Amino acid sequence: MPWTTILAAVDLVLIVVFIPWILSLKKRTTSALAWCLIVLLLPLLGSLLFVVFGYTYIDRPLKKKRQHRATFTPPPGTPRRRPFHTLSAEQHRLAGWKGLGRLASKFGNGPLVSGNRVDVYHETTNAFAAITAAIESAEHHIHLEFYIVQPDHVGEQLVDLLAEKARQGVEVRLLCDAIGSFTFSRMLRRKLIDAGGRCSDFMGFNPLRRRFRVNLRNHRKIVVVDGRVGFTGGMNVGREYLGLDPRYGYWRDAQLRVEGPGVAQMQRVFIEDWDFASGEQVEGAAYFPELAQAGDTTIQIVDSGPDEVTNSARALVLSAIISAERRVWIASPYIVPDSGVLDALMIAGNSDVDVRLLLPHKPDRWLPRIASKYLWSDLMAAGVEIHEYTRGMMHSKMMIVDDDWGWVGTANLDSRSLALNFENICVLHSAAAVELLATDFERDLQHAERVDADRFAQRPWTHRAAENIARLGAPLL
C-alpha cells in the first residue's frame, strides 16, 4: 500500500477522532473553531498541538483536588472553602466593594476576613529579607509555593536556610512548578530532602501520566510560616527578582506580607496544592492556629485555575472594571486581555473612567509584548492611557479600582493567567491599603513614559505585521 494512502487514512482517523473531542471540550466557539480548522488543515500536526497545548482537561487528578476542597475541614473558627449557599448570615453581609467579595465566595473562595495587618513591599530586596526573617523565626512549619526557583546563589541561599530549619525539626514543604522550576537542580532538592524537608513538583514531566499538561502551570507564589504569617505577590526566587541580573536591571515587583485571620486562607490554598502534587494530606490545628486580629485591613484570598468552571480571577477583574466609577489602574508585565476584558476596558475608558495600564518598556518575554501592541490603538482611541516602565523590569501584578478595592497577586492581564494557569490574588477591601497601592503606582509612573497615540500610529508596517501574527497566539500567551 502506498505511503500516501496510509497517510491519508491516518489523517482521516485523526480528523474523525479529534474533531468531536475538541467540540466536546472547548466551550468557547472561537477556540473550538480555531482548533477544528487546525486539525482539518494539518491533521497530524494539529492533533499533536492540541494534545500538548489545547487539551486543558485534567479530570482525574483535579477530581481529587476538588474532593479535598469539599471535605477538608480546618479547626472551628478558621476559614474554609465551601459553597456560597452555606455561608453564614454574617458572611453574606460581608459583600465588600460593589459586592465583589460575595461574588468571589460564590465561585468557591473563602469569605472576606477582617482584622489583618498587610505590609506592602515596593522593593524586592526588602520583601525577600522579610520572607527570610519569617522563615528564620519558624517554630513548627514552613510552606513555600513558587513558580520559579532558580539554581543560582539566591535559590541556594533559600535552600540552605530551609535545610537548616529542617534540621532543627521544623517541617519544611517546598512546592515548585515542574516546568517553571525545570532548572532547579537535583542537588539543591537533595540538600533539602536529606535535611528532613520535603520537595514536590506540581504536574511533573511524565507523558505517561494523565496529569501531565505542559500548558497548565502553577503560577502561584505563597509562603506561609507557622500558619500565622503569609506572603504573596509576583516574586519568584532568583537573582533577577532582586535586581541582580544585568539583562533586566532594576526589578519592580509588588509583594504583600499578611498577618491575621486571612493567613488561614493562604494556608488552605497551599495545602490543597500540596495534597494534589504530593499526595500528602496536611491536617491538624497546628497548621491552622487561632489567629487574633493583627490590624484593620479586610482581605480575601482568591485562587483560580483550570479546575474551576468559572475563573474567579477573570470574573473579579471583569466585574471590577465594569463597576468602576473613578479609576482603573492596572500594572502587569503581560497585558493581552481576552475580548471580554478588552471590551470592559474600552467601555470604561469611553465612560471617562481614568484607565491606566502600566507595563514594561523592555519585557522578559517579547511575544506577549508584540501581541499586546496589536490592541494599543483601540485602547488609546477609547481613552485608555498606556505607560511603559523604563527604570527596569516591571513585573508587578496589581489592580486598583476607585478608592476601596484593589489586589496584589500572581495573575497577569492575559489569557494564560485568566484561563490556563493556577493563580492566586490577595484582594484588599480597605481604603487605606488601596491607597498604599495607589501611591506605589504613582511612584512607578514617575519612571514611565506614556505612549503617544499619534507616534504609535506611525510605527513601521513590519511591526504591524508582527503584531498581527503574534496576536493569533494570544489565547496561549
Instruction: Point out the catalytic residue in the list 402, 414, 440, 444.
Output: 402
Nearest in space to 109 (alpha carbons), one of 269, 271, 314: 269
Q: Is 404 annotated in the active site? A: no
Q: Is 395 annotated in the active site? A: yes
Is residue 390 within 8 A of residue 448, CB to CB? The reply is yes
Instruction: Point out the catalytic residue in the list 26, 143, 219, 387.
Output: 219
Instruction: Point out the catalytic residue in the list 253, 397, 440, 444.
Output: 397
Instruction: Point out the catalytic residue in the list 221, 373, 387, 429.
Output: 221
Instruction: Point out the catalytic residue in the list 395, 414, 440, 444.
Output: 395
Q: Is 397 annotated in the active site? A: yes
Quick one: cell of 168? 532543627
Q: Is 402 annotated in the active site? A: yes
Instruction: Point out the catalytic residue in the list 226, 307, 338, 440.
Output: 226
| Residues annotated as part of the active site | 219, 221, 226, 395, 397, 402
